[in-house]
Every structure is written in structure tokens, then in C-alpha cells.
Amino acid sequence: MKDLVYVNGNIVAKSGRHLAKEWITLAPNEYKCNAAKVIEGDLYLDEKNQFLSYFRYAASGGVSSLIIGGIETIPSPKNIRELYDDDVKKIEELLQFQVPEHLESDRNRHLYVGIISDLELFLTELLSCLVLGNEHYYNRFIENTDCVDTTKMNKEELYNAPLKIHRYIHKNYNYHRLYDVGIIYTAVFNTDFPKYDRLQKMIDTRHDLAHRGGYTLKEHQIVHLNVTKDMVYNLIKECDIFINDLINMLKEPIAKWEVK
């Protein structure tokens, strides 16, 4: 397997935080025959002895951590889509609850904001998993951003590069700005980005709902927005179209992530 490291022993995280596509325990000997790299003996992980996140690690023995959060698995594209779909289903269920008429707009406002939050999470985690889970896109991300300067990094810093990239992806982009998101997706994955004009207008409406208590500026006064169920359903529909188009455009990167 091109993305498999076989450890003929145990994997133990003594300190630090360690990301990988998968952790496999009690791996049979046939894994060793198909591995891209074989490590004989136990592998102890700390801040100075990490690894690259785009590998699966299989141990003939066990995988354990001496600290909380020392061993983490990168979610797959499928996991990320399921998380989004599950959250949207909950929002659709909440839309069916009967509330007093004077509370309907407020209920709908919070659900509208929640959908955009789910979209932002989806875009963040999809970028993160595809970059950290594949060597080619890992290097493309480094080439197209200032997340790390590999020419000036010592060995210890290179080991920690996956954590720097993970933090950069989660801290350096506002995922409600689809223009900016499209630039990084296009640069890293060399693909088109879905049309988003209608969706961006809906996101702009979300800003008024989230940051101005449901009020928006019209001419020289602020007016309250009445958020209806139809507005929420239309937003869900627009997000689904956008996400489906994006996944279709990312067929190759997603397939590369899944390949073993």
C-alpha cells in the first residue's frame, strides 16, 4: 500500500499530538509485505519524533497514547459529508416543531445561521482532510501558502509541519468568504470551484442575522428581517447544490484520499 507504514511492534505516543489517516492494531504480516515503509521495533512518538499525516500506520502490536489527544485520526471526505448531512437533518426536524407565532422568525433565524455554520465546517474539514491525507496536495498546499517555510525548518520543525498546516487551515481563512475559499481550493486541487453568487448573498444575509440580531440596514435606518421557513429551506437547497458540485469537481482528490 502506497500510504501504509508498518511497525513491527507497538506504536506509543509519549507526548505531542499525532495525526494520521488511520491507526491499525494487530496488523497481520501481509501488511508488512505491502507497506511503503517498515519500522522494526516499537515506535515511540513525541514532539521530536513525529511522522507525515498522509500515511496509515499499522502496528503488529498495539497503538496507545500516554496523554489525552496524543493519537488522532484524520476524518475521511465521506465522514465530513455525513457530519454535514446529519446536522442539516436536525435543522429540518427543528423546523417542524410548533412554536408560538411570535417566536417563529427567531427560531428560523437561529436555524438559518446554523446552516451557514455547518457549511463553513464542511469547507474547513474537507480542505483539511484532503491536504493532510495526500502527499501531493500536502505539498501543493505548502507551495501555495506561507503556512511553513520548509527551507528554513530544522528536522524537529519538519516533523511538526502537519500540525502547523492543520492550524493554518483552521485559523487563516474565513470560510463564509467563498471567493477566498475558491482561490485556495483551486490553487491546491487544480480544479474549478462551484458558482456561488446566490449562496454568497444568502451568507451575507446570515451576517445580519448573526451579528445584528436579525436587523439589516435599508437606506438610513435598520429594519428587522422576518425569517420564514421557506428562507431556511431555500438556503439548505442552495448549500446542497453547492456542496454536490464541489464534491463532483473534487472527484480526483477524493479518490486519491481513499486509495490504499
Cell triple for 210: 448573526
| pLDDT at position 255 over 60 | yes
Mean pLDDT of 169-177: 94
pLDDT of residue 234: 96
| pLDDT at position 153 over 90 | no
pLDDT of residue 140: 93
pLDDT of residue 58: 95
Beta bridge partners, 49, equal 46
CA 159/CA 249 separation, integer angstroms: 31
Residue pLDDT, tens place only, 98-146: 999 999 988 998 999 999 999 999 999 999 999 999 989 998 999 899 8
**Alpha-carbon distances, residue 159 vs 16, 89, 198, 235 (angstroms):** 11, 40, 42, 42
Domain boundaries, the chain: 4-73, 77-258
| pLDDT at position 174 over 90 | yes
> Mean pLDDT for the chain?
89
CA 51/CA 40 separation, integer angstroms: 15
Residue pLDDT, tens place only, 84-97: 999 999 999 999 99
Residue pLDDT, tens place only, 192-235: 999 999 999 999 888 888 777 777 777 677 777 788 999 999 99
* CA-wise closest residue to 13 among 82, 54, 59, 79: 59
